[in-house]
Amino acid sequence: MADWRRYYEEALAVASALGDNYTLAILHLNRGELEFESGDVQAALECAHAGAEAALAGRCPGPQADALMNEAAYRLVLGDIEGARTAARSALAIAHRVQSAMTAALSIGHLAAVAAMRGDPRSAARLGGYVQGWYRNEDYAVGATERATGELLAAALRVHLNDGEIAALIALGENLTQAQAMSEALAATAF
């Protein structure tokens, strides 16, 4: 077992013994990111799910939204489009309630990939444009998870649209407000 895994197991045991659900959620989230980066997407998914459960038990909506957002990404990478849709929609609803612009934007990005994979490339491209604009405006350092879902989105868009159409729709999406992007993301992934 890698040293970092052993350290996480020890920290999780301490947080669990203390009944500290907030710390449990954060530890699971962080471990999930490391599992993902090491190539174990299934373990990352399990960590995200455990993080969401701990956050729910501790009534910690911010970490719960983040865990659901990561769960959506991992499910996308594993090919579970419906599971990704459900997790991302839940993450977006909580992010909106707690006013987390980052979690909302990243969840919208995951829903863009879902929409593209479910045959709505035009909405998906606009939503992808919104997320790209958010990254740029916030000077956000895109991580491995966002890169992976962005690549899935780009591949799905290329199946349905040419480069010119994609560029035009992304440009339109960059001008969406968060409320407009949320509305379109929810509409594009409603069923």
Q: List the CATH number of the domain containing 75.
A: 1.25.40.10
For the whole model, what pTM was predicted? Answer: 0.93
Residue 117 neighbours by CB under 8 Å, 6+ apart: 76, 81, 152, 156
Residue 79 tokens, joined: 């090919």
Q: Are 179 and 107 in contact (CB under 8 A)?
A: no
Tokens standing for residue 179 = 């409320």
List, for residues 141-182, the tens digit of each pLDDT value. 999 999 999 999 999 999 999 999 999 999 999 999 999 999
Q: How far apart are the first and last CA of the chain?
A: 42
Domain extent for 100: 3-188
Count the alpha carbons within 13 Å of 141 in the hemisphere toward its beta carbon.
0
Total number of domains in the chain: 1
User: For residue 87, what pLDDT is reported?
Assistant: 98
For 24-48, what is the mean pLDDT? Answer: 96
- pLDDT for 53-111, tens place per residue? 999 999 999 999 999 999 999 999 999 999 999 999 999 999 999 999 999 999 999 99
